[in-house]
Each structure stands twice: as C-alpha cells, then as structure tokens.
Amino acid sequence: MSASHGPGADLQGRPAGVVTRTIAGAVDYGLGVAAAAGTYAAVAALSFLVNPVGWSWPRWPFIVFLALGAAYLFVYLVTCWATSGRTLGGVLMGVRVVHHGERVRLPRAMLRGLIVVAFPVGLFWSAVDHRSRSVQDLLTRTSVVYAWRSSAATV
C-alpha cells in the first residue's frame, strides 16, 4: 500500500481538527513541564552536592516554575516550527504548522510561539472556525495540516 493511498491519505494537507491539535499540544506542553521539573531536580542535586549536610529542597515560588516552563516551551516550539514545522506532538499526531503550505520562517514562528505560550486557549477557536484555524493561526497567518508525508501543502 503506497503512502498516497493508505489510511488517511485523503486528509494529507487538510486542516487538522481540534482534537488532533489538542492532543499534540498536550504532548508539547507536557515537555515544557518536564523540562521545568528537570531543571528543578538538577538545581536540587547540585545544591545537595555543594552542601549535603545542610541540604533541603529548593523553595521556588510557583511563578518561577511557570516562567521556566513557558521559556522552555517557547524555545522548543519556535525551534521545531522554524526547522521542520513539527513538534514531537505534531509528529505523533501527524500534523505540521505551515505558512501558505511552506515552512514557517523564524520571525513568524517566534510570534506564533509567543501567542501559543501566552494564550493557549486560543487553540479552541479551531473548533468553530470553518477552516479549523486557531487564534494563533489567524494572527500569524499559519495553519496546522495533516502531514504524514514530508511535503504537505494546505488545501
């Protein structure tokens, strides 16, 4: 069975739905949380190595975790979108972020990343938009399409 005739071939290049996008986003946000938690664990381990006798868990305000996770998520999203258009969540769900069917350039990826991190609920606008565009897509003129193959133009 060839890639152009396999399951989902008729969806290739079409706008991704809100459920697919939400699952992909959850995976990506989970990576941001994991990176922030890993940083906390690394700081705790280093502080233990420096002072094992008087060691205690570092006390960070929640805003520090939030800012750290947001920074990691922003860098991750921008890097993925500007290079391949795909995050790990996008790869798992078979979707890619594109601009007029092409790779998203760095400035647009940065703007989109900022909006996604600052206003994640904007994704749910894709449930009511007739072309499945989120607030982030509308503001940056991007789209998220099903893309199991390496080249996927928007329809």
Q: Where are the domains of the chain?
A: 12-146
- 33 Cβ partners below 8 Å, 6+ apart? 69
Give me the percent of the chain exceeding a pLDDT of 90. Answer: 86
Q: What is the pLDDT of residues 23-73, one digit of tens each?
A: 999 999 999 999 999 999 999 999 999 999 999 999 999 999 999 999 999
Per-residue pLDDT of 67-93, as tens digits, reads 999 999 999 999 999 999 999 999 999
C-beta of residue 24 within 8 angstroms of C-beta of residue 90: yes
Residues 6+ apart with CB under 8 A from 6: none
Residue that has been written with the tokens 């790869």 in this structure: 91
Alpha-carbon gap, residue 126 to 56, rounded angstroms? 46
Answer yes or no: pTM beyond 0.75. Answer: yes
What local confidence, expressed as pLDDT, does residue 11 receive? 82
Where are the strands (E) in 38-117, listed by range? 95-98
Average pLDDT, the chain: 91
State the pLDDT at residue 148.
80
Residue 6: Cβ within 10 Å count: 10
